[in-house]
Amino acid sequence: MHTRESLRCDLDLLGVLPTDTLLVHASGRSVGEVDGGIEAILDAFTEYLRPGLLAMPALSWNSVDASHPEFDVLRTPSCVGALAEHFRLRPGVQRSWHPTHSVCALGEEASPFTDGHERFDTPCSRLSPWGRLLDRRAKILFLGTGLSCNTFLHGVEEWCGVPGSLTETRQALITLTPDGARLPVPSRRHSGGRSKHYAKMEDVFARSGATTVGRFGDARCHLADSVRMEAVTRRLLDADIDLFGHDRVPTWAGEVFT
């Protein structure tokens, strides 16, 4: 059985530093049996990441749309698994106010990290928390998941202006803030089902040094360097702007980005 202490050791062996900004995409079930369950897993992260910043996606794209336009920051659940949902509900966790692609964070800099997401009409604007991951040289942990859930790559596609990656029209969505205000947030959506092709990058990212593989409990994990991942993806998009519009695996010449 795994414990908070053994899981903290796993984070150290993975190469996570206590000072890191760490975004976690997780299948909590993949960790295996843990003394204390989901809350102990979250305790391991929060105890280890001091004075760092722990972030998790709190996406609600599946329940907030043109026919159900209201996003309640405090009450709308996330759709990315039990671990992220338990994290969202923890005391002190801050959630960004974007209706479909919010992010939750815990740490001294959680508020500036999450602030202002509702100002943008795309899910992963370069100036949103998704872009701030790059500014903070964050690490992204895919815990028991593949790379197809890599929301950061949606961001890179946005920043590179990939045609067809976003809808042309905006949905009239509304954010209900914690103090009861109703904010109109007209929003474009991701389109084209492009994330189904993200997993083909696994070998490319590994060869380029953008990701390493390790374990957290029983779970096989990919730990990504956001700066290297963005640089590799941008370089490949320069060569093929429709990189994620097909399943062909790109070739890699062996360059390592810093």
**pLDDT per residue over 173-200, tens digit each?**
999 999 999 999 999 999 988 999 999 9
Per-chain mean pLDDT for the chain: 95
The whole-angstrom separation of Cα 53 and Cα 46 is 9
- Mean pLDDT confidence for 30-41: 95
pLDDT score for 254: 59
The whole-angstrom separation of Cα 105 and Cα 82 is 16
235 exposure class (CB count in 10 Å sphere: 0-12, 13-18, 19+): middle
**What does the pLDDT look like over 132-141, one tens digit per residue?**
999 999 999 9
pLDDT score for 257: 44
Residue 101: pLDDT band with limits 50, 70, 90: very high
Residue 21 three-state SS: strand
3-state helix, strand, coil in the chain (%, to 5): 35, 20, 40
Residue 153 three-state SS: helix
Q: Can you read off the two tokens belonging to residue 18?
A: 């206590």
Percent of the chain scored above 90 by pLDDT?
93
**What does the pLDDT look like over 82-99, one tens digit per residue?**
999 999 999 999 999 999
| Other Cβ atoms closer than 10 A to 101 | 27
The whole-angstrom separation of Cα 227 and Cα 137 is 6
